[in-house]
Structure 1
Amino acid sequence: MSIVFSSCSRQQPSESGRIRWSLVLILVPIFLLAGWWLKDSLTRVQPREPKRKVVVLGFDGVDPRLCREFMDKGALPNLSQLSRQGTFRELGTVNPSQSPVSWSSFAVGGDPGQHGIFDFLTRTGGDPTYLPSPESFVGQIEARFFGGIPVRLPKAINKRGGRAFWDYAAESGIRTALVLVPVTFAPPCLPNGLAISGLGVPDLCGTQATYFYLTSNPRKVGVAQMTEFGGLVTLLKRSGDSYHAQLAGPPSPLWKQEKSRKSDGLKKQKDSIKSPGLSLDEKQKIQSEIDRLQNDLSAFTAHPQRLSMPIEVVPLSEPGTARITIDQDEKVVAVGKWSEWYRVRFKVTRFISAHGICKVLLQSVTPDVRLYVSPIEIDPERPAVPICCPPNYTRQLAQKIGLFKTRGWESDTAGLKEGALDEKAFIEDTFEVMDKHAEMALEVLHEDDWGLYVAVLSETDRVSHVMWRLIDPRHPAYDPVLAAEYGDSIEKVYRKMDDLVGKFLNEINPLTTDLYIISDHGFRSFHTGVNLNTWLSQNGPGGDASRPFMKLRLPANRQYNLQDLFSGNTDFFKASIHDPVEGTTKTEYYVNWNETRAFALGLGSIFINLRGRETWGCVARADYNAVCDEIIQGLESLVDPATGKRVIRKVYRGLEIYHGPYANIDSVAFPDLVVGFEEGYRVGWQSTLGGITDQVLVPNRDKWSGDHCGIDPSLTSGILFANRPVEASRTEIIDIAPTILDSLGVPYPTLQGRSFAREGTANP
């Protein structure tokens, strides 16, 4: 989702219309408040007591093997207590074991066919169908202005389908609280309840992690201002004793308006070429206009005009310090220490500003000035879009416990991954965030006598992603010096988890309350990237390279970045072509779609170029199963020549592993094949971003060294701890929803998951 504001008009109100505009300024807030009151009054339900209360404390990415290891050495006393007195078991995850997929399945009690979230990445469903969507599991409605006055506020749309178990609970009268639960953005408004959104909430730029790296050394900036994973590198320009730059924010309203106009014009031409009765000459003319408009839109989209705000750095006489001003907030910052929160704003119109908060890490003042500015969070006291319901609760919470990060991907993993942050700065920030989230979770727990309480902390996942290399000496990025200093980072974040579990144990009466400690998946090492589209372009049936599954027509000569993935960029799957005569550069598909039978997107999804579903589909329905069989046979035979071991454990058919309304072969979001990698392997970075590399297998020398995405779900089970015995024949994440509803005494329709309670073990 992007937090953007589009304007319907640039015209300012005339003198004769000032009274009308004054009325608008007065009435719009009244109508908005009335809407919230009306919504609350219509959904108000008489509260009732549950059969038993339920508290769920989730920790993203906690691995059962590491839990056992740390428990055996006495590092997790509270979880050890739960294991002795109640339950500790592995919790089966879903396929694929990706956080938005797993937590969505947790919510609805079913596999992705029940909710429609199949990957971190989905497709637009537009024309052409091959483009990734910037709205993977969160959609958007943009704000609109008329003459600078808001006539529609921005809001998010949760794209997860199905009904969550907390909806059943709240609607039956159970007081319900959700704290940072993934895929709850936009926040659900629960009767007698409260929800603070988690994974899915963007930063103020509309992304998950746009950080800023500023330097006074022009040699450090380079040609590319946007890094591979979303950082913005900016040159600080010297003026006397100070240095200045602009921090880029969301796209400007006028740029968004012009982009929409160009997109509408392109769509109109694409619709017109489908008109019956057109002559060949007419079709050629329309196609020529489509090509022109497409190139124009691509060039326009490649250079977005953004809102911005100033930053000034003034080195001080005291060594290692500087006065740093962002927008109008000024602080003295010391080298190597995180600043306090800056309160900033992007001015959208004369009447509207988008408010945010950020921190600064000053890295050097001599010989070069260097600093890191964290992604700009939505200000919890003045959110640009609703991030909780009731909508004023984060304001109240911030006034009690202080400002906090609101972004769903709360850790600055991208900054560490790309060298803009070091391990020390990353760990300090992430542990501080975890402490604040723990404080938030306890504050909400004390807020009311909840019948159902669910909180999820994600720092366990983030630390594991980037620090796994320091516990795996065989990893290509292993560094013995760093391992000596930071090799215990994962254990430390597990200890912090255990501390919070202990605090919850002190708050909960086991005679009246069921407590579940869960994770959505585990973790494995990621030492080798697998470029699926490279494999598809080099292999055909039976290994016949002359008939590849993906046919290339041009060299894939672009290095893709995260902006390409989440900006809705129409240059996906395209190469850059320079015309030396004209001095221009245009883009064309490097894929010959008319002869391509399959392509990969996301973190392990493969799509058949199916006729009738895809824009240039060439595979007939009668050949669908045969093409799937050929790809499965080839991929499951892939061997790493460096080790002699298989790369892929199993390739799954979407129609066999998914069940429900979203398991629809005609949907562009539905993956035909899902790759389950062996331990150590995962989709390569450029393959994920839309590129094709020369090699199928590439060593992962990146700091992002641990993973679960795409790794076979049999290798990535999560954890289940409970304060009561659970002896069910299976324990999977889809079983949690019906188990909770049975404990609460709330009726529900048939779910795919199976309740522990109905086996007579969770609630004797």
Structure 2
Amino acid sequence: MYSAEEDPHASRIHLKKASGWKNVPDSHSEPLEATLDLGSEELKVELYILVVNSQGKGYDRVLISTERDAGKPIEVLSLGEWTDWVRLRFKGKSSEVGTVRLKLLELSKDASRLRIYCSQIMPTTGWTYPEQIAAELVEQVGPFLQRIGYIQQGRIYGAWAGHRTMMEELEYQHDWFARAAVYLMGNYDWDLLFLQSHAPDYIFDNLIKEAEPLTTSDRERSERYLELIDRTYEIVDRAIGRIAERADEDTLVVVVSDHGVIGFHSTRHVDDVISEILEKEGLLFYRSRAVQPGTKPKFGREEINWSRTKAAFFDSIYIYLNLKGREPDGVVEPEEYEGLRDRIIEALRSYKDPRLGTCPFSLILKSEDAK
């Protein structure tokens, strides 16, 4: 992401009066320019943008080029438009060709607000076996897109660029999946075709708390998000259908999920809830209170006082007892082990979310019962 305003998710665009450009188009306001550095410190390429006022109603077009020549643009974008996919050579410690496309997300009439989204930059080789298939797929099917809707640059990696952009990339990605699968099935001998779609995981991670009617803070937002979830499954289903059409009567088609998902039945994160319960029970103590309860001490976010702690919570689903003789700083006597487990289970079952009035835990098991 690139932005003319300070944005923790974006690299800063510094607009200034354009100079040194060839073939500058007519503009009712002074043309503005900036550079975009794509890639990383190791491998990058510089693009040039020219912002113009083509209709006399304010800045409305962004020209993107590999050089300061408006007669040789990659694309001239209006609000909400994408460039075509473009191949660029990224240089640095080595040299590598990558594919990318850009989208104009925002442009105010005075150009004080300008945001440009950059898709994931994908190499044209190095992601298949045998090696040559990658270049073949790019040539026959189009550029591959591994991650969708993520902001790739800036201080925070992995933020979302907006739901419309996310869904547009999801559509492209799954259309590519289907076309690539059909191409490979038709041009190579094969015994097993395996395809993984991360789309449901993406969408639920991003939307589930506000999509869930029980926990949403805005009913209209919940309805919009549920529609996006439905649309995601339609996109995935359409790709599966196109691939399954190529299967003959001797081919077994299996669709499977590696895990499920449920809504947040709490207005607070489960890590915070469980850590708070353990603290109130006098079972969990910290040397410091840094950022986020329930996170592993080795990540530096919390420092647990193990000399006083009897139970600690890690990895969103596990509560560990600090058992003497098993743990380096164990304080729980073996004879109190079972009683302490029962006490923790009862405390979890008794907890009620302060706003919803319900218990967020649907299943609480001892380790031997979970096997």
Please tell me the TM-score bracket, short chain as reference. Answer: 0.7 to 0.9
- Asked if 2 retains the 8 angstrom alpha-carbon contact of 1:360 and 1:371, the reply is no
- SS where residue 104 of structure 2 aligns? strand
Q: Does 1:392 align with 2:132?
A: yes
Aligned to 2:199: 459
- Given that 1:536 and 1:548 are in contact with CA atoms closer than 8 Å, whether structure 2 keeps it comes out as no
| Distance in 1 (alpha carbons) for counterparts of 2:298 and 2:46 | 31
Residues 1:495 and 2:234 aligned together:
yes
Cα pair 2:313 2:319 within 8 Å, conserved: yes
Q: Does 1:361 align with 2:97?
A: no
Structure 2 CA distance for partners of 1:644 and 1:463, relative to 1, 3 Å: closer
Structure 1 pair 445–461 and aligned structure 2 pair: CA distance change class (3 A): farther
Task: Give yes or no for contact 2:100–2:122 (8 Å, CA) kept in 1.
Answer: no
1:283-314 Cα deviation digits (max 9, x unpaired): xxxxxxxxxxxxxxxxxxxxxxxx76545432
Out of 411, 420, 423, which is 2:148 matched to?
411
Tell me whether 1:235 sits opposite 2:12 in the alignment: yes
Q: Structure 2 matches for 1:529-568, cutoff 5 A?
A: 529-535=267-273, 537-540=275-278, 545=280, 548-556=282-290, 558=291
Aligned mates of 1:435, 1:400 — CA distance in 2: 13
2:314 to 593, 601, 611: 601
Following the alignment from structure 2 to structure 1, what is the Cα–Cα distance between the partners of residues 320 and 352?
22
1:508 aligns with 2:247: yes
1:158-182 residue CA offsets vs partner (Å, 9 max, x unmatched): xxxxxxxxxxxxxxxxxxxxxxxxx
Match of 2:348 in 1: 635
Q: 2:181 aligns with which of 441, 446, 464?
A: 441
Is 2:161 aligned against 1:421? yes
Q: Distance in 1 between matches of 2:35 and 2:91?
A: 19
Q: Which runs of 5+ in 2 are unaligned?
A: 18-31
What amino acid does structure 2 have at the position aligned with 1:524?
A: I
> Matches of 1:643 and 1:360 in 2, distance apart?
43
C-alpha separation between the residues in 2 aligned to 1:499 and 1:326? 37
Q: What pairs up with 1:90-239 in 2 under 5 angstroms?
A: 212=1, 214-217=2-5, 220-221=6-7, 225=8, 232-239=9-16
Bigger RCO (CA 8 Å, 6+ sep): 1
The equivalent of 1:573 in structure 2 is: 301
Q: 1:519-558 CA distances to partner (integer Å, 9 max, x unpaired)?
A: 3344433353544554455445xxx83x6222023332x4
- C-alpha displacement at 1:472, in angstroms? 5.0
Contact in 2 for aligned 1:320/1:364 (Cα 8 Å)? no
User: Could you list the per-position Cα deviations for residues 348-386 of structure 1 after superposition, in whole angstroms to 9, with x for gaps in the alignment?
Assistant: 52xx2455433322123333242243453431x233xxx
Paired with 1:444 and 1:458, the residues of 2 have a C-alpha distance of: 21
CA contact (8 A) 2:99 2:122 kept: yes
* Contact 2:4/2:15, CA 8 A, preserved across alignment: yes
What is the one-letter code of the residue matched to 1:526? F
Tell me, what secondary structure is at the counterpart of 2:165?
helix
Task: Tell me the TM-score normalised to structure 1 length.
Answer: 0.39
Aligned equivalents of 2:204, 2:165: Cα separation in 1: 16
Confirm or deny that 1:249 pairs with 2:4.
no
Counterpart AA for 2:315: G
Match of 1:644 among 329, 341, 357: 357
> Cα–Cα, structure 1 residues 470 and 622, in superposed 2: closer, same or farther, change >3 Å?
closer
| Pairwise CA distance, 1:432 | 1.8
| 1:183-332 alignment, distance < 5 Å | 212=1, 214-217=2-5, 220-221=6-7, 225=8, 232-240=9-17, 241-244=32-35, 246=37, 249=40, 310-318=46-54, 319-325=59-65, 330-332=74-76
The change in CA–CA distance for 1:500 and 1:480 in structure 2 (over 3 A counts) is same
Distance 1:628 1:348, change over 3 A: farther
Residues 515 and 354 (structure 1), Cα distance of their counterparts in 2 relative to 1, 3 Å cut: same
* TM-aligned CA distance change 1:592 to 1:427, over 3 Å: same
CA RMSD of aligned residues (A): 4.0
- Tell me the TM-score normalised to structure 2 length: 0.74
Contact 1:536 1:550 in 2 (8 A): no
Distance 1:606 1:356, change over 3 A: farther
Letter in structure 2 aligned against 1:315:
V
- The CA deviation string for residues 92-135 of structure 1, in whole angstroms up to 9 with x for no partner, is xxxxxxxxxxxxxxxxxxxxxxxxxxxxxxxxxxxxxxxxxxxx
Give the corresponding residue for 2:21.
Answer: none
Q: Distance in 2 between matches of 1:497 and 1:420?
A: 20
Percent identity for Structure 1 against Structure 2: 19
- Residue in structure 2 matched with residue 517 of structure 1 by the alignment: 255
Q: Tell me the distance in 1 between the aligned counterparts of 2:116 and 2:269.
A: 32
Once residues 361 and 37 of structure 2 are traced to their aligned partners in structure 1, the CA distance between those partners, rounded to angstroms, is: 46
Counterpart CA distance in 1 for 2:365 and 2:221 is 41
For each residue in 1:270-290, what CA deviation from the matched residue of structure 2 results, as whole angstroms up to 9, or x when unmatched? xxxxxxxxxxxxxxxxxxxxx
Select the residue among 382, 400, 411 that pairs with 2:125: 382
One-letter code of the match for 1:243? A
User: 1:452 offset after TM fit, Å?
Assistant: 2.7
Long gaps (5+) in structure 1: 1-211, 226-231, 253-306, 575-588, 659-764
Q: 1:451 to 1:633 in 2, by over 3 A?
A: same
**Shift of residue 571, structure 1, vs aligned partner:** 5.4
Q: CA separation in 1, counterparts of 2:149 and 2:140?
A: 25
Rate the CA distance shift 1:313–1:593 in 2: closer, same or farther, 3 A.
Answer: farther
Does the C-alpha gap of structure 1 residues 598 and 463 become closer, same or farther in structure 2, counting only changes over 3 Å?
same
Cα 1:624/1:377, change in 2 over 3 Å: farther
Question: Contact 1:640/1:647 (CA < 8 Å) preserved in 2?
Answer: yes
The residue aligned with 2:28 is none
